[in-house]
Amino acid sequence: MPNLLVECEVQNGLFKTEYLVSLPGASFIVDRQDVRVAKAPLEGELVRGRVLAYLVEVRNDQAVIEMTGTPVNGGIRILVSRAITTAA
Q: What is the mean pLDDT of the chain?
A: 95
Q: How many independent structural domains does the chain possess?
A: 1
Q: What is the pLDDT of residues 33-58, one digit of tens each?
A: 999 999 999 999 999 999 999 999 99
Give the chain as a 3 state SS string. CCEEEEEEEEEECCCCCEEEEEECCEEEEEEHHHEEECCCCCCCCCEEEEEEEEEEEEECCEEEEEECCEEEECCCEEEEEHHHEEEC
Domain enclosing residue 49, as ranges: 3-87
Full-prediction pTM beyond 0.75?
Answer: yes
